[in-house]
């Protein structure tokens, strides 16, 4: 389908709008998903910080407890080094824990209770270490065996477990959300990318088609420009030929109309002379009328007058026929052409069918060979052209042999086709090949009725369709009339316009 400039602009604007909408949607969705991903990432970080702070505090307490028990069992002061190092860090680690946990858990955790439990546990361990350092190791062990320290440590461990499990659950949930967010982001980018590729591809394809049409139009213009001079020469020759035909037509019409007119004038003069004899007879006194005058009057009334009137009537009838023939050709030349699709073979078969019985009655035969696609032309003109050529072939068939008629149509260069009608009839003498296309001119033996307008009419119709007709013939052997026409009459109409 051809793309007009308006269609191309509308398509480009539509593709641009769709691409812009897709781009805005991709950017907006990507920005939203990026913001959500950032929020999820921040949340994951907070939970991981809370878990890390919890684990750090738990590890410190466990090291303190291990160091206390090792000192109580061995009474070796070296075991107290981890204790002393981690006790100094407890306050800072606890602060980090509270800062990380409270915004996340809120009222779910009682940091005050947790702090007092830790302090109680640290106090219990500090008391046992002091007792052991002062030599009251049995009392220190007895204090440990009361399970007060274990109960405090179990309570602290429960806090740690709840915090770590909560952080792990939230981290897993955050990772799942992050994965879903990344999946959505990939999907949006994929869909958006496909839309943009389709829009870009559609826009590119439309541009390619439009550019191709522009290049084709430019090539056609260049080709037309290249052949312009040749076409101008061809048109000039056509005009010269048309002018010569007009002059020849004017001469023929003048000559053929002048002949009956001269006859009319001559016999009118004779009629005037005859009327004088009759008038003399009518106005002269019968007693003074001579036998000679009476005899002339009788001859004029019975012979001369009817003869003159007959010749005048015959001449006027001939002039009327000539004028009607001229009017017929003139009307055909002015008739508006109606280009329409035509099946050449079907048209030829239908036209041949109208004269086929005349061919077969004399033992003749006719064949059709068509290698032409459907054409666009004026159906009435084409039917009249073929009909006249077939009528002439039948009319002027040779009396000593059956008629053989061949109708052929083939495509020729220049977006044109050639139609030929070949017969084995009387043929036309070489000097009459051009004469037969003149108005009122006939060649050969004049034993058939006709006015000499058939082939002139065919040439007029052929040229009105943008073509021409020619004949090749050998007297006594047959004739071939060749008509060359454009495949599409509309190109001729546009060119003339």
Output the domain CATH number for residue 364.
Answer: 3.30.565.10
Task: Say which residue the tokens 């805005």 belong to.
Answer: 24
Kindly give the interhelix angle for 148-226 and 5-74, rounded to the nearest 10 degrees: 160
Pairing of strands 365-371, 404-412: parallel
Same domain, 367 and 422: yes
Same domain, 72 and 174: yes
Query: In the chain, how many domains are there?
Result: 3
Same domain, 131 and 95: yes
Same domain, 380 and 271: no
What residues make up the domain containing 264? 243-334
Same domain, 55 and 189: yes
The one-digit pLDDT tens for each residue of the chain (497 residues) are: 556 677 777 877 887 888 788 788 888 888 888 888 888 888 888 888 888 888 988 898 888 888 888 888 887 888 888 888 888 888 888 888 888 887 877 767 777 787 788 888 888 888 888 888 888 888 878 887 787 778 888 888 888 888 888 888 888 888 888 888 888 888 888 887 888 888 788 778 877 777 877 877 777 777 666 655 666 676 676 666 656 555 555 555 555 556 566 666 666 766 666 666 665 665 555 555 566 666 666 676 666 667 667 767 766 776 666 666 666 656 655 567 888 999 999 999 999 888 888 888 888 899 999 998 889 998 888 888 998 888 888 888 888 889 999 999 999 988 899 999 999 888 888 877 777 777 655 555 655 555 556 788 788 888 888 888 998 888 888 899 999 999 888 876 544 44
CA dist list (Å): 396 to 433, 460, 476: 15, 21, 11
Per-residue b/e over 64-89, b at no fewer than 16 CB within 10 Å? bbebbbbbbeeeeeebbebbeebbee
Same domain, 96 and 178: yes
Q: Judge whether 192 lies within some domain.
A: yes
CA distance 378 to 339: 5
Angle CA 127–130–133, to nearest 5? 150
Which value, in Å, is the radius of gyration of the alpha carbons in the chain?
60
DSSP state of 336: P
Please tell me the predicted confidence (pLDDT) of residue 343: 92
CA distance 414 to 468: 14
Same domain, 353 and 438: yes
Please tell me the predicted confidence (pLDDT) of residue 496: 47
Q: How many CB atoms lie within 10 A of CB 327?
A: 10
Same domain, 322 and 378: no
Same domain, 323 and 423: no
Same domain, 57 and 179: yes
Q: Judge whether 186 lies within some domain.
A: yes
Please tell me the predicted confidence (pLDDT) of residue 235: 64
Please tell me the predicted confidence (pLDDT) of residue 224: 62
Same domain, 96 and 20: yes
The residues near 346 (Cβ < 8 Å, ≥ 6 apart) are none
Please tell me the predicted confidence (pLDDT) of residue 241: 62
Q: Judge whether 219 lies within some domain.
A: no
Rounded to two decimals, the pTM is 0.43
CATH of the domain at 280: 1.10.287
Q: Judge whether 230 lies within some domain.
A: no
Cβ-contact 223, 215 below 8 angstroms: no
Same domain, 370 and 417: yes
Domain boundary among 185, 209, 233: 209
Please tell me the predicted confidence (pLDDT) of residue 497: 41
CATH of the domain at 66: 1.20.120.1730
Cβ-contact 98, 106 below 8 angstroms: no
């Amino acid at each position: 389908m051809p793309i007009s400039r308006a269609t191309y602009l509308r398509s480009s604007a539509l593709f641009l709008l769709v691409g812009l909408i897709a781009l805005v949607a991709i950017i907006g969705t990507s920005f939203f998903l990026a913001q959500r991903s950032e929020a999820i990432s921040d949340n994951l970080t907070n939970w991981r910080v809370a878990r890390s702070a919890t684990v750090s505090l738990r590890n410190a307490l466990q090291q303190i407890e291990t160091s206390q028990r090792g000192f109580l069992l061995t009474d070796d002061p070296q075991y107290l080094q981890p204790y002393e190092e981690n006790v100094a860090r407890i306050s800072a680690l606890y602060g980090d824990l509270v800062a990380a946990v409270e915004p996340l858990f809120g009222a779910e955790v009682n940091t005050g209770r947790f702090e007092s439990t830790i302090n109680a546990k640290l106090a219990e361990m500090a008391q046992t270490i002091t007792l052991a350092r002062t030599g009251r190791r049995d009392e220190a062990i007895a204090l440990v065996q009361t399970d007060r320290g274990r109960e405090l440590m179990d309570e602290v461990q429960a806090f740690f477990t709840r915090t770590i499990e909560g952080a792990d659950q939230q981290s897993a949930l955050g990772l799942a959300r992050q994965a879903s967010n990344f999946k959505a982001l990939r999907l949006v980018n994929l869909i958006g990318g496909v839309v943009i590729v389709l829009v870009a591809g559609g826009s590119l394809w439309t541009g390619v088609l439009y550019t191709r049409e522009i290049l084709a139009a430019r090539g056609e213009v260049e080709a037309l420009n290249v052949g312009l001079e040749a076409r101008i020469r061809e048109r000039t020759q056509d005009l010269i030929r048309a002018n010569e035909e007009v002059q020849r037509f004017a001469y023929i019409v003048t000559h053929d109309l002048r002949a009956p007119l001269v006859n009319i004038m001559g016999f009118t003069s004779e009629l005037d002379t005859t009327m004088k004899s009759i008038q003399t007879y009518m106005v002269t006194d019968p007693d003074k009328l001579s036998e000679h005058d009476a005899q002339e009057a009788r001859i004029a009334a019975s012979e001369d007058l009817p003869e003159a009137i007959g010749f005048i009537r015959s001449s006027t009838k001939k002039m009327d026929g000539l004028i009607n023939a001229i009017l017929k050709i003139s009307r055909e030349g002015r008739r508006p052409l109606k280009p329409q699709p035509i099946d050449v073979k079907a048209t030829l078969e239908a036209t041949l069918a109208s004269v086929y019985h005349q061919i077969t009655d004399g033992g003749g035969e006719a064949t059709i060979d068509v290698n032409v696609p459907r054409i666009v032309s004026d159906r009435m003109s084409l039917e009249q052209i073929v009909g006249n050529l077939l009528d002439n072939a039948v009319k002027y068939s040779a009396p000593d042999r059956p008629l053989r008629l061949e109708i052929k149509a083939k495509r020729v260069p220049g977006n044109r086709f050639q139609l030929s009608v070949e017969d084995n009839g009387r043929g036309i003498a070489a000097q009459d090949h051009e004469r037969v296309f003149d108005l009122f001119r006939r060649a050969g033996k004049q034993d058939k009725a006709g006015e000499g307008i058939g082939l002139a009419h065919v040439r007029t119709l052929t040229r009105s369709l943008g073509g021409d007709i020619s004949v090749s013939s050998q007297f006594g052997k047959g004739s071939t009339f060749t008509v060359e026409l454009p495949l599409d009459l509309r190109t001729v109409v546009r060119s003339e316009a």
